[in-house]
A and B are shown apart, each in its own frame.
Chain A
Amino acid sequence: MAEYKGVMTYCEITEGKLPSISNELLGCGRRLADDLGQELCTVLVGSDIGSLAQEAIAFGADRVYVVDDPLLKEYQTDSYVSVMEKVVRQVMPQILILGQTSVGRDLAPMLAFRLDTTATLDCVDLAIDPDTKLLLHIKPVYGGNAHATFTCDSYPQIATVRVKVMSPLEPNASQRGEVITIDAGLDPSAIRTRLLKRVKEEEGGVRLEDAQIVVSGGRGIGSAEGFKQLQELAAMVKGAVGATRPPCDNDWVAYNLQVGLTGKIVNPDLYIAIALSGSSQHLSGCAHSKSIIAINKDPKANIFNQADFGVVGDWKKVLPAFRDKLKELLSE
């Protein structure tokens, strides 16, 4: 395995820009590369994306591989897996990290098996073992009730990293790096799955992932009608509404409001948890919030173990009074 060298990040591109996760990965990759005394490179895959290379360098990459092809305009599993397979076989990094995003969770396992290695998904920390120099993949298991540390016996060691757990570096615009173009060389017969349509289901107002205040409800809200009260509060504090899984399963709110392990990961300044018990799956998506307040009628609800402030009581009585008092205080 000696010929494998260096750390590579997969630089996701959203609507022509580098999303935060791409910079978070560069920050994390920089640290791993420095610990190994090796280089950090990153891969940009897409169409008309060359201008992003300098940005990736500013955020910490020593070298940027650019695969630019009109056929790569949108993420599609088969084309992206085959492009990444080509890049990895050519560059042979020891470590490859991707984001735990819709793209990363699809691309990483497929690519890993194509390369006859394996990936560890949804890592919340990565480190280099000082003795073996192997990558330590640290990830929640059992719905977040335990944290496992894995090592991988085959190269490249591949991991996806949860969004918002790593910090990007301060960008340095004068940083220099190398930009290398790699030809996509797509074989049309290898593209089996075709994307027919992409449908956006954005709610109005603040995006859940970007919101500084999130008002979330659980099973106890009981109806779509009930969620209107949460929407009112969210609108008042310029926040966004979130939910646990049962309200989504029951169609009280859209699925894209689900916060948790298989939904969205949020880290607002304030998370207001209403009538939700605090299952591990849900907490995986919001435990990084700066502050949490909880309203629940069950004093033993797990959410109180995570909350800074809590009220034990029926949300239908507590919430309107909270909202009215808050409105009064905010207008002062």
Chain B
Amino acid sequence: MKIIVCMKQVPDPEAPPSAIKVDTEAKRVIMPQGTPPVINPFDGNALEAALMIKDAQGAKITVISVGRNLSKAVLRKSLATGADELILLEDDAFEKLDSYATAHILATAIRETGEYDLILCGRQAADTDAGQVGSGIAEILKIPGITAACKVELSNGKVRVERVVSDGYEVVEAPTPALVTASSEIGELRYPSMKEVMAAQKIPITVRSGQELGVDVSRLKRLNLVRLSPPPGRKTECQFIGGETPEEAGANLALKVREAQLL
């Protein structure tokens, strides 16, 4: 059983929102100082789904990441948690890739790795929130694509997936090889032990450039970022309701809410 997991590193999405600034000139977001890069949480869910399959029936897991200046320390965590191989597609030209380019580069690299049973991706990245690389890879490789999985099972040449929909869930099945995107309901990526972290340091990482892959990024761009601006805020000033005790404050809030005819 061979599973490929696509992984993106993102600035920690848990950074306090009030400290995040937007540089409109440079069209980029400035994260608060010291915000560490982390594995995109949804890609962490994807790897966790792969690890659960590996736990149950054994599998070789290859993690692939694409970008510029990738942090080996961050991505190596995938090896520490149980992935077998890490491939970094790294190139100066791989900065600020749109989903179209990212999907094409990843698909090229996946083709190179030979046969596989399953590709897992996060349903979206926590920075761009674009939500289409997984579907794109499935289309490019002409394999079935299933999105927003909360449970993934692999057996007898089939993948069986429970996928989240707004009023419940669906159970779908597709022949492998197939691609599945993971939702947070799968569960967070497990924590590696210190011993596993140390052992992962010894696993060699494969690095491939755009030229080695034979991809020309300039032909793969579809989206242009025209403008980046701070989000339009709600024009409200919070009126704080107090009281001698928390109970009194609660009662005062009820009075206020009635007075303002909100209820």
Contact = CB atoms under 8 A, between A and B. Distances in A.
A29 to B, nearest CB: 21
A198 B168 contact: yes
B212 to A, nearest CB: 24
B170 A199 contact: yes
Interface in A306-328: 306-314, 317-326
Contacts of A109: 99, 131-132, 134-136
B70 to A, nearest CB: 19
B207 interface: no
B56 interface: no
A287 interface: yes
Interface residues of B, number: 90
Given A149-B226, A308-B239, A309-B238, A193 B144 contact: yes
A112 interface: yes
A306 to B, nearest CB: 5
Contact of B251 (A149, A194, A196, A325): A325
B224 interface: yes
B47 interface: no
A324 B251 contact: yes
Interface string B6-33: 0000010110111010100000010000
Contact of B147 (A105, A317, A321): A105
Contacts of A120: 130, 223
Interface in B86-103: 98-100, 103
B228 interface: yes
B199 interface: no
Q: Contact residue range for chain A?
A: 35 or more
Contacts of A293: 253, 257, 262
B236 A307 contact: yes
B255 A306 contact: no
A278 B16 CA distance: 10
Interface string A82-121: 0000000000000000000110011011101110011111
Contacts, number: 283
A150 B251 contact: no
Given A112-B132, A118-B223, A196-B171, A310 B238 contact: yes
Interface stretch (A1-9, A57-65, A137-145): A137-145
B34 interface: no
Contacts of A314: 246
A181 interface: no
Nearest to B24: A146
Contact of B263 (A110, A119, A255, A270): A270
A123 B85 CA distance: 37
A141 B257 CA distance: 33
Contacts of A213: 263
Interface stretch (B73-81, B109-117, B120-128): B120-128
A326 B247 contact: no
B170 A195 contact: yes
A47 interface: no
A311 B127 contact: no
Contact of A150 (B135, B139, B175, B226): B226
A325 B168 contact: no
Contact of A146 (B22, B99, B168, B241): B22
A151 B223 contact: yes
A317 B246 contact: yes
Contact of B129 (A108, A139, A202, A309): A139
B99 to A, nearest CB: 6
Interface of A: 76-78, 101-102, 105-106, 108-110, 112-114, 117-122, 136, 139-154, 192-202, 209, 213, 237, 245, 248-249, 255-256, 261-262, 264, 269-270, 278-281, 283, 287, 291-295, 302, 304-314, 317-326, 329-330
- The 7 lowest CB-CB distance pairs between A and B, nearest first, are A109-B132, A321-B250, A113-B139, A325-B254, A317-B246, A109-B135, A322-B250
Given A143-B17, A309-B241, A318-B253, 17 more contacts: A77-B145, A102-B165, A106-B147, A121-B131, A147-B229, A149-B227, A152-B222, A152-B224, A192-B143, A200-B167, A202-B168, A304-B238, A306-B238, A309-B240, A312-B249, A317-B245, A326-B263
